[in-house]
Amino acid sequence: MAVCLSIAYGAGVPEPDPSRTAVELATAVAQLSRRMRAAAPHGGLTPSQRIVLGRLAEGDATTAALARAERVRPQSMRLTVAALEEQGLVERRPDPGDGRQVVVSLTAAGARCVASARDAKRGWLTEAIETELTEAQQRTLTEAVALLRRLAQS
């Protein structure tokens, strides 16, 4: 059986090992993520501030919800939100459903900041795919994206 597998995989492609694949995939995803972050303009924002802007691009949230999502103390998140507010990237307003709560949302400038970072990341990745991969490799990557989505949703 092992002989058949080595012949079937051949050409330097190792036999599947889910444990090893998991380690290598996690490493590759982390490296890709770091490279994409490096491609985005920072605009003087801290990593925490960029993360909060990204979360708020998905929808408004309370400071407490942001703190829970990022697993930080509410006091720390209040400082991050205050810094973003000072820069005009977020605004606070009363929650329409519960006047006791305050909701944080992106301003137009904050939305532009997020869009600029996302565009830079996508631009870098598109160029890397076009210049570093053959057409066959690009097709393989397209197929792999579907598999990665499936893993992410499991």
**Domain 20-153 -> CATH class:** mainly alpha
What is the C-alpha to C-alpha distance for residues 124 and 117, in angstroms, rounded to an integer?
Answer: 11
Closest CA to 65 of 50, 79, 53, 55: 55
Select from 67, 62, 51, 60 the least CA-distant residue to 113.
51
**Residue ranges covered by each domain of the chain:** 20-153
- What does the pLDDT average to over 129-137? 97
pLDDT at 10: 54
Q: What is the mean pLDDT of residues 138-145?
A: 96
- Report, as an integer, the average pLDDT of 95-121: 93
Q: What angle do CA 120, 68, 122 make, to 5 degrees?
A: 10
Question: pLDDT of 49-89, one tens digit each?
Answer: 999 999 999 999 999 999 999 999 999 999 999 999 999 99
Task: Evaluate whether 66 touches 74 at the Cβ level (below 8 Å).
Answer: no
131's CB contacts (< 8 A; 6+ apart) are: none
What is the pLDDT at residue 11? 61
Helices (H) and strands (E) in the chain, counts: 7, 3
